[in-house]
Each structure stands twice: as structure tokens, then as C-alpha cells.
Amino acid sequence: MGFAILWVMLFHLPVPTDFTSLDFIKSLGYGGVDVFLFLSGFGLYFSMSRKNFILKKYYKSRFFRIVPEFWFVLCIVFLIQMNFSLKSFYSLVCRATTLGYWIGHQDELWFISCILFLYAIFPMYFSLFKKHGTKVAFLFIGAGLSLILVYALTCIYSYGNKNFGGFIILTYARIPIFFVGAIFGHWAKDGCNVELTNKLKIIGLSSAIVALIVLTCFKNFMHSFLQTCSLAYLPYIIITPVLSILLAMFFEKWKVLDKLFTIIGLLSLELYLCHVYIYKLFFVFIDYLDKDSANLLIMIFSFFAAYALYFVNRKIFTRRTNIRIRP
């Protein structure tokens, strides 16, 4: 999660770094969201497999982990903007309830709407999975892929290759990877004897490399289609599991970096909530700063704001709700 949020933050930086390799990685940074959702599906399977699992406690913990901070940031931004018109209040209510996102309103914090929706439906999926096995998982993944393709074809042939759904496309495109993560959680938790043999490693790495090549070709030769019909996200269904396993192996060997990225991962929600607005705020001052200064200051301010938000959540929201803060 620490790697994923840094990747997303790098993607959001308003100006290039002038390092070709780093800028290429930056251009693919939206894949950090896929890593988040893969790990969320993975973790939720573990969470719901516990013997002492209580559904009411599950919903309560997810709500208080995300929503108080989400509302707090929305209120701060609302007050800073100093726009108290009726339309502005309506927009605030739509965003706070996440309903605005689902009816096509543009929303910088779209990921909150996405993850709350997936958290809400996961218990139903888990119940079906326990009764019918992995075929349910592949049914959900297949349904997600079908939704992406239907959406893509609708955009291309009925709307002149224009995105008619707004930011909601970002959720449609990530449904499969969330449930792929749940399958990996099942394999890891239930002891399915999936061993990383040399043959499986070669297949996985080769598939990920091919997917990365396809993604690069899409970005270079089909850029307009990628931006409107979600095809840019499909290769990450293959890339994300392989990347996550490689990162796990890397951090297992480099313990110092593991501790550092664990701390960053603990602040991942707060970093996302703060960084989305901070990097946009810097567009106002971008003409007065050089590239390196702008990028560096965005990162520094994001971390300071994220820690402050985490502190407020731990000291105020957590004490009042008796919910232990967890990543």
C-alpha cells in the first residue's frame, strides 16, 4: 500500500520530472489504484474468514475508518472555497453521501465512492463464494470484464468515442482486479497449495511483460480510446498480481525499506485525501515555481497534511467510536 500510494501521488504530479524512465513510470501511476483494490480484496477475504467475524462490526469498522476523515476533508475544502450558495451545498451533500458520483458528477475523491461500494457488497460475495466456490469468483470477474467491454463499445459506437459516464468509468474498470485479489486471498488463506514454482514464475512474469507491452502500445497508438472507454485499465488485471508478489518478495528481503513503506501504507488513506487537493492547489502557483520545487513541495505538504489528518482521526474520531485505526 505504501508503494501504491506513492505511485498514485507520482502520477498526480502536475509537471514532468525530466527523467525519461521516471516519467514513464509516472504515466502508468494510475495502476496504483489497482494495487490498492487487489490488496483490499485480498485482505477482506482474510478478515471475513475469521471465526469471530461479526457483520455489524465489519461495517462499523469500515465506516469509521473512512467516512469521518472523508467528511472532515470535504468540510475543510468547502470552508476554504468560501462558496456558500445553494448549489454548493447541494454539491457537498452529493459528494458526502457519494450519490453524486453514481449519477455522473465529477469527483476528485471518486476512489472513496468506489471502495465503499465494494466494501458494501463484499459480504454478499463472500457468502456466495463459501457456498459455491471459485466459480462465483470467476462469475464476478467475468461480469466486471463484460461491463468494461459493454461500456467501451457503447462509448465508441454510440457516443462518438466520448466518455458519457464521467468518473464512474474508474470504478467499472477496477471491479475485476478487486475480485482477483479475493481469489488470491482464498488461495493464501485456505491453504490451496499454490506454490510459486519456476514454471509458474516464468508464466506470470511473461504474462505481465506482455501486458505491459500491450499497455504501452495502447498508450502510444490508441490514446483517445483509452481515455474514454477504460481499455487502459485492462492490462493491470494481469500486471497487478505479479507486481504485488514481486513487491512482497522485495520488501521481505529489505527490512529497512519494509518498515518505511509500512508507515507510508498506514497513512495511505490520509495521503490520498490530502494529496488530491494539494496537487490541484499548486496549479495556482505553478508559474512561480520551477518543476522540481513544485513536485517536492507537493509531496512534503501532502505528508504533513496526511499526518495531521491521521492524528485527528486517532485522537478524536477513534476515541469517540472505540474503533481501532487499521490500514
The series of mean pLDDT values per 10 residues for the chain, 327 residues long, is 94 80 87 95 92 90 91 90 85 91 84 95 94 90 87 78 76 91 90 74 91 84 65 88 94 93 94 90 68 81 92 70 48
Question: Which pLDDT does position 286 carry in this prediction?
Answer: 62
Q: What DSSP letter does each residue of 103-157 carry, written as one string?
A: TT---TTHHHHHHHHHHHHHHHHHHHHHHHTHHHHHHHHHHHHHHHHHHHHHHHH
| Integer Cα distance of 175 and 177 in angstroms | 6
Enclosing H/E stretch for 304? helix 291-312
Q: Are 109 and 273 in contact, with CB atoms under 8 Å apart? A: yes
> CB neighbours of 194 closer than 8 A, spacing ≥ 6?
187
Q: Which residues of 275-289 are buried (b: 16+ CB within 10 A; e: fewer)?
A: bbbbbeebeeeeeee
Q: How far apart are CA 113 and CA 295, in angstroms?
A: 27
CB 176 within 8 A of CB 148: yes
pLDDT for 231 equals 75
The closest alpha carbon to 114, from 245, 272, 310, belongs to 272
CA distances from 117 to 80, 113, 171, 177 (A): 28, 6, 9, 15
DSSP string, 212-225: HHHHHHHHHH-HHH
- pLDDT (0 to 100) of residue 126: 94
Predicted local distance difference test score (pLDDT) of residue 325: 45
For residues 307 and 263, the answer to whether their CB atoms sit within 8 Å is no
